[in-house]
Structure 1
């Protein structure tokens, strides 16, 4: 069996600063909206910090699975809400697992990506948990679905999880169009308090299936995710 592992969350916002009116409460202020271009067209996804200078999102938000082509003009807006944000980050490099570039369903096992950004997070970052099988029965999903508030306000949904054909299924019950929430964190042990053993990302939003409103799927984070995480921390070298 694979060995479980985790990285802890870290909050860089003091109680005094939090009370002064941040856009989001903990842990949502570690997340934001991702903007990018593909062949001149503009797109959006969701993303969040998992270390001082590394973001986690979905692979399909940074790279074409058929051609392997990387997308351009990747920009991350921390604490995005209704066109406003606290900080903009440019990318240094983006990285996916090589398994993402292939035909067929198996690519979705690798639909996660890391982005090294040009400056540290001002608010902190989520923890991560890989090879976590059996430790969580539900998760909280965050992101910017276009079907709610036109994707301008981060949304929070919760529901039970289970494994289906190697990926994680989350039944959150919201039938709205989830486009734009891709790459948003699925969080185990979600907490807005001072609990240090909390807020572990266990998957990210990957895809939905026609005829299954309120149900989404994401990759299981394993040791290949941890290798990619380390690669991003090292500047994609």
Structure 2
């Protein structure tokens, strides 16, 4: 650590009793007791990168820090340097043990720009989850050589299904190092001091030395990032620059501590997954998956079911749609089962929420199957057609009219219909550049910072994509008399499907061409902040499932909860 910096406990441990001294000697790997400190605050972090094949994913280790619902993991578990892409679908599985865990969805994540710029001294990330922790490890910065206990879900012990730990002495460097045999899957696992404070984490190894683990020595940058995430990734922390920028060109030490953030604004839709222990699941190491609606609204939820049969090395992905009543909990079954031939427990089941929308009846009308059109796309078309009618009829109960005040939020969405050639002749590749968009709204590309670090809007087959960091854009007050604002949240990879590019949609689209966003994981989101926002959000906000330009400057947006219209350009 730099000279002159004294160790400092900046986040105290939360509800953790004194640790039990490990039975194993230093350097010997031991199974962790999930009922004891500090292991009861740890869990497995499951997630995807955009490059993952269907049915495949990644996993790391994470742990609660303090009492604010923030977990710590490795930055390479959140941002992939090779593809320069954020991860998606983060789920924190607290005290994961052979398929059983308490599951937490995520709200936002942050790293510092030193990691995208290639510096392993910044291989740490913090994620805000939805929920309150029972315990949390403390955090200590500027710690030199000391004795630590490292934990993780490694592949070489327990096949990533059980938590292990190993103790030893770390040195005073940055990156720091310690004797540690834990392998893939242990990344992000904390190095905990005898004071129950995290001082580093599992980051990387050299290929010619599998017995030594390296990790970032936590410093003031880690504290500021933790504080930023604990506030819901909304506040600017002094001295750290922009909260949404990252230097893409190379290592820039003057910007190494800039916070870079990713938001998952699912607007508390209510639908979530949880895995629990169940006596009804007969297979060893099996738990029961529950779909839970925490909201006050009836929800139609689209679930992706991923089955993996280890006996025949085959994975399949299918979709199911379920209606959940307010506060309902519904079982999706055991996550390990027999196969069709009765072979004992070779099939693993995992799930992902692909969409969720408020519905008014127990049995909503589902679209009929049409060749070349998924049920998710057909539902999105139904949503848009219904919203176009509601907004045309000025139905205030179903359609919120933002008027000219919606341009700042609806303008970026408008690019997903403006760039579409209705004759389906749009070329493959770039359709509109970032600079074109900036100039379109009166800016100078040489002077305007691209805070979202977004790419050009481009055609990729039948889809329209725009890739970037993911960020939120906030409008000025929609109504001058109250502080009420519109917020558009862009995911790292927006992916829309223009109906004009697929003839199969022709019979289903009643008016102007539509651009669909059938998968919530790669869809924009609209919500509102300020006076009266909670009530407006319940009726109109959510994931954007489709948009249609009903005139030269008017956009209709179908969200998970209702309809929004307004100007998307002057």
Which category of TM-score, normalised to the shorter sequence, fits these structures?
0.7 to 0.9
Secondary structure of 2:210's match?
A: coil
Give the counterpart of 1:154 among 146, 152, 163.
163
Between 1:92-101 and 1:35-44, the stretch displaced more is: 35-44
Report the TM-score when normalising by structure 1.
0.83
Shift of 1:68: 4.0
Residue 61 of structure 2 aligns with which residue?
A: 46
Shift of 1:3: 4.8
- Count of residue correspondences: 210
Give the counterpart of 2:125 among 105, 108, 113.
113
Alpha-carbon deviations, 1:30-56, whole Å to 9, x = none?
A: 000000001234000000000231000
Residue 25 of structure 1 aligns with which residue?
A: 36
| Alignment check: 8 A CA contact 1:95 1:232 kept | yes
> For the residues of structure 1 that align with 2:34 and 2:216, how far apart are their CA atoms?
29
> For the residues of structure 1 that align with 2:213 and 2:188, how far apart are their CA atoms?
12
Alpha-carbon deviations, 1:124-162, whole Å to 9, x = none?
A: 1000100122xx422110010111111111001011211
Residue 171 of structure 1 aligns with which residue?
A: 179
Alpha-carbon deviations, 1:182-219, whole Å to 9, x = none?
A: 00000111xxxxxxxx2110001100111212210000
Runs of 4+ in structure 1 deviating by more than 3 angstroms, as ranges, are none
Structure 1 runs not aligned, ≥5 long: 14-21, 190-197
Residue 202 of structure 1 aligns with which residue?
A: 199
Return closer, same or farther for 1:12/1:206 CA change in 2, 3 Å cut-off.
closer
Residue 96 of structure 1 aligns with which residue?
A: 111
Give the counterpart of 2:96 among 80, 85, 95.
80
Give the counterpart of 1:224 among 214, 221, 224.
221
Report the TM-score when normalising by structure 2.
0.36
The 5-angstrom pairing of residues 53-64 of structure 1 reads 53-64=69-80
Secondary structure of 1:150's match?
A: helix
> For the residues of structure 2 that align with 1:83 and 1:94, how far apart are their CA atoms?
25
Larger Rg: 2
Secondary structure of 1:183's match?
A: coil
Residue 37 of structure 1 aligns with which residue?
A: 48
Residue 144 of structure 1 aligns with which residue?
A: 153
> For the residues of structure 1 that align with 2:97 and 2:48, how far apart are their CA atoms?
20
RMSD (CA atoms): 1.7
Secondary structure of 1:125's match?
A: coil
Give the counterpart of 1:182 among 187, 196, 220.
187
Return closer, same or farther for 1:23/1:185 CA change in 2, 3 Å cut-off.
closer
